[in-house]
Structure 1
């Protein structure tokens, strides 16, 4: 008999929040990838586009910090987004050491297209949750995230 058909106890894992968060995150990430398949979009670049769209002229260091992206990784991802024509770098007059980031029309279109797919993905993943459940889930997750800051 294969292990798939057997009942296997998880032991102490059933009571560990971190285990369940990791499994839920993995499930969400897999469905997120399927939802955005064929767009060239991934979670981290989507996060950057979202932050840049909400904060025109933000420097790439600040965008990386708010998203928890290491500087070296941020440079590579920004290069990718610039190469795709989704954002542009500008040298602000007041601080020539840091690049200011701005969305391009193509970037705004990509963000909107991706967001529509992500909203469908989240609606499917959270179909058993009402509005209050969703608000509570976001609130609880935000409290955990706040520990990182």
Structure 2
């Protein structure tokens, strides 16, 4: 039994424990990488989705990213206030807003993605390309799994 397994006891073989620890390490390093940008993971995620689907409405962005509708309004307001996103009434549904990136939003996304790529390279430096692909595949399988009925 390794020293680590002795310290964490019954937690050692639990995948969820290790996922949480890995997420904590990733999140801390991500925050470091974004220092000075004013950006958080959720905001970068919104910019990326809007960039990939100009004119998308905020409800659709929320569904893609798993963000509750109530939280989307304040997040979009934050990005509008930062002048990174423009929000206009959707001509096909006057109750919805179409979102597009501003020039500043495109610049911010480009800068953030460069920082994120460097952050991921550093965090995953000990993994081969094949191991990274396997990790993404395994995480994707967990993510797509239907929750157990309970």
- TM-score, reference length from structure 1: 0.92
Structure number having the greater strand percentage: 2
Structure 1 runs of 4+ aligned residues shifted over 2 Å read none
What is the DSSP-based 3-state SS (H/G/I as helix, E as strand, rest coil) of the residue aligned with 1:99? strand
What is the DSSP-based 3-state SS (H/G/I as helix, E as strand, rest coil) of the residue aligned with 1:96? strand
Q: Out of 16, 36, 61, which is 1:63 matched to?
A: 61
Structure 1, residues 73-106: CA drift from partner, whole Å, max 9, x if none? 1100000000101011111211111111101110
Q: Out of 132, 136, 139, which is 2:137 matched to?
A: 139
Q: 1:124 maps to what in 2?
A: 122
For structure 1, list consecutive stretches of 5 or more residues without a partner in the other structure. Answer: 1-6
CA distance in structure 2 between the aligned counterparts of 1:26 and 1:9, rounded to whole angstroms: 18
CA distance in structure 1 between the aligned counterparts of 2:91 and 2:99, rounded to whole angstroms: 13
Q: 1:36 maps to what in 2?
A: 34
Q: Out of 111, 114, 121, which is 1:113 matched to?
A: 111
Q: 1:3 maps to what in 2?
A: none
Q: Does 1:52 align with 2:50?
A: yes
Structure 1, residues 96-140: CA drift from partner, whole Å, max 9, x if none? 111111011100000000111111000000001111111111111
CA distance in structure 2 between the aligned counterparts of 1:36 and 1:27, rounded to whole angstroms: 14
Q: 1:104 maps to what in 2?
A: 102
Structure 1, residues 27-85: CA drift from partner, whole Å, max 9, x if none? 00000000010100100000000000011111100100111111111100000000101
- TM-score, reference length from structure 2: 0.92
